[in-house]
Amino acid sequence: MNYQDIKTFLTIVSSSSLSKAAEVLFVSQPALSHRLSALEEELGTELIIRKKGSRTLELTDAGQRFVPLARKWEQLWLETSKIQYEKPQDILRIANVDSLNFYFMPQVIGSFLEKHKRCSFHIDTMRSNVSYKAVENKEVDMGLITNPHFFKKVQTVPLFEEKLVLVCSKDTAYEDGILPSRLKSEDEIYIPWSDSFIMWHDYWFGNNSEVKVSLDNMALLRQLLDLEKTWAIMPATIGKKLSQEGECRIVALENGPEYRTCYAIMGDRRNAAPLVMDFLQELLDTVKGIPEIRVLTEYIRQAP
């Protein structure tokens, strides 16, 4: 069975006449009948009821059942024949920590896709240690993480660092210049942003401090800040967005935590796919215009 056989059968069905079908296909009627008979012989059943003197054709039960199959076969053949002419779609797979999705990432992705219109962008939210495994196993092309680890086959490249700030509800009475010692951990909405933040937190509040709520992602952060006296430490861009929405405010904190560093992780920077490098450069070009962020690597394409 080939495309010509299927095309012949479907043309006969749509024309309801062997003579009309022969005209459409620019073949003689005997040649058309031969093609039809060959198809029926291959299928092992008659498809057309042949009646002498009748101008229209009727399908057998088998012929009626074969019509939708023939149309699927024709469509599949047409799609298959286009493969050699179509440019394959590029795919970029990235693992990202939850907090980086909140402020500037939509802008980065939007700008990147404007320049790479055929790219299909896949982003998975993962913790830093899980991202390393995903990169090592080639499940993603690269990862964006905040807690660096050592993996022999994964490179870790520092991209930028971001200030961490104190944020509370606009109605909460914390004043600028407050010291960590004046804060109560039992009023805190706690997220372990980075290893350096955890060390800072343990220094001021103890290793086993009781907090109001401990979270492993940001889904509930904004709503929980409405609880009485609550406060939270968070990346400055997130605090800025919450304060711009009008229900929260940033409070200047003395002796606050160190800046949080964001890293890119990939298999081998020298052999990284062009899409990976283009995306990282788009990310750096975006964040270098944000006052709360200090860029550590200006040009991602420079030699490692």
Asked if 169 and 228 sit in the same domain, the reply is yes
- The verdict on 67 and 113 lying in the same domain is no
Q: What is the CATH number of the domain that holds 233?
A: 3.40.190.10
Instruction: Write down the pLDDT at residue 176.
Output: 95
Q: Which long-range contacts (CB under 8 A, 24 or more apart) does 172-178 make?
A: 172/228, 172/229, 172/230, 172/231, 174/231, 174/251, 175/251, 176/251, 176/252, 177/252, 177/254, 178/251, 178/252, 178/253, 178/254
Residues 278 and 147 both lie in one domain = yes
Q: Comparing C-alpha atoms, which of 247, 221, 199, 259 is closest to residue 102? A: 221
188 to each of 51, 116, 146, how far by Cα in Å? 87, 42, 21
Structural domain containing residue 27:
3-81
- Domain identity same for 272 and 136: yes
Shared domain check, 231 and 173: yes
Domain match, 127 and 273 both = yes
Q: Are strands 90-96 and 119-125 parallel, antiparallel or unpaired?
A: parallel
Residues 6+ apart with CB under 8 A from 92: 116, 119, 120, 121, 122, 141, 273, 275, 276, 279
The number of folded domains in the chain is 3
Q: Judge contact between 271 and 154, C-beta under 8 A.
A: no
What CATH number does the domain containing 27 carry? 1.10.10.10
pLDDT tens-place values along the chain, 304 residues long: 788 888 888 888 888 888 888 888 888 888 888 888 988 899 999 998 877 766 677 889 998 999 989 899 888 888 887 766 655 568 999 999 999 988 889 999 999 999 998 899 999 999 888 999 999 999 999 999 999 988 888 999 999 999 999 999 998 989 999 999 999 999 999 999 999 999 999 999 998 899 999 998 888 999 999 999 999 999 999 999 999 988 899 999 999 999 999 999 998 777 778 899 999 999 999 999 999 999 998 766 544 4
Q: Note whether 284 and 155 are same-domain residues.
A: yes
Q: What is the pLDDT of residue 152?
A: 86
Among the listed residues 115, 242, 252, the one whose alpha carbon sits nearest the alpha carbon of residue 179: 252
The answer to the question of residue 143 being in a domain is yes
Give the pLDDT confidence score for residue 302 in this predicted structure: 47
pLDDT number for residue 304: 42
Distance CA 168, CA 176 (A): 12
pLDDT, residue 110, reads 94
Is 55 within the bounds of a domain? yes
**Domain end: 81, 99, 124, which one?**
81
Is 256 among the domain residues? Answer: no
Query: Which domain-ending residue is among 34, 53, 81?
Result: 81
